[in-house]
Amino acid sequence: MASPLEQFQIKPIVHLSLAGYDVSFTNSALWMTIAAATLSLVLLSSARGASLVPGRLQSLGEIMYEFIAGMVRENVGDEGKKYFPFFFTLFCFVLGGNLFGLIPGAFTFTSHIVVTFSLALAIFLTITVIGFARHGTHFFSLFFPSGAPLATAPILIPIEVISYMARPISLSVRLFANMTVGHIIMKIFAGFVISLGAYFLVPGVVPFAVLVGLSALEFFVAALQAYIFTILSCIYLNDAIHLH
Amino acid sequence: MPQFDATWFPAQIFWLAITFIAFYVVLSNFVLPKLGAAIEGREKKIEGDLARAGSLKGESDAMIATYEKALAESRAKALAVRAETEAKLAKEAAAKSAELNAALADKIKAAETRIGESRRAALSNVEALAAEIAVEAARKIGGLSVTEADARAAARG
Quote the minimal CA–CA distance from A181 to chain B in Å.
12
- Residue A175 placed within a domain: yes
CA dist B94 and A102 (Å) reads 107
| Residues of chain B found within 8 Å of residue A16, distances taken between Cβ atoms | 11
d(CA B149, CA B157) in angstroms, rounded, equals 12
- CB count within 10 Å of CB B91 equals 10
Domain of A66, in residue numbers: 6-48+56-242
> What is the three-class DSSP state of A4?
coil
Asked if A8 and B45 come within 8 Å (Cβ–Cβ), the reply is no
Residue of chain A whose alpha carbon sits nearest to that of B22: A36
Confidence of residue B99 (pLDDT cuts 50, 70, 90): very high
Question: Could you give the CA distance from residue A242 to residue A141 in angstroms, rounded to a whole number?
Answer: 11
Decide if A90 is inside a domain: yes
| Residue A212 pLDDT exceeds 90 | yes
CB contact under 8 A, B15 and A32: yes
Q: How much is the pLDDT for A201? A: 67
User: Chain B partners of A93 at a C-beta cutoff of 8 Å?
Assistant: 19-20, 23
- Distance from C-alpha of A206 to C-alpha of A212, rounded to nearest angstrom: 10
Residue A85's closest CA among B47, B21, B136? B21
Task: Please give the pLDDT value at position B3.
Answer: 84
Domain count, chain A: 1
- The reported pLDDT for the residue numbered B4 is 87
Give Cα separations from A62 to A93, B34, B38 (angstroms): 17, 10, 9
Which among A6-10, A148-152, A234-238 has the top mean pLDDT? A234-238
* pLDDT of the residue at A138: 84
ipTM of the complex model:
0.91
Confidence label for A183 from pLDDT (cuts 50, 70 and 90): very high
Residue A230 lies in a domain: yes
- CB < 8 Å to A61, chain B: 31, 35
Residue A1's pLDDT band (boundaries 50, 70, 90)?
low
Percent of chain A with pLDDT over 90: 56
| Residue range B64-79: mean pLDDT, rounded | 96
Asked whether residue A1 is domain-assigned, the answer is: no
As a whole number of angstroms, the distance between CA A165 and CA A148 comes to 21
Among the ranges given (A78-92, B21-35, B87-101, B130-144), the one the predictor scored with the smallest mean pLDDT: B130-144
Interface contact flag, A36 B19, Cβ < 8 Å: yes
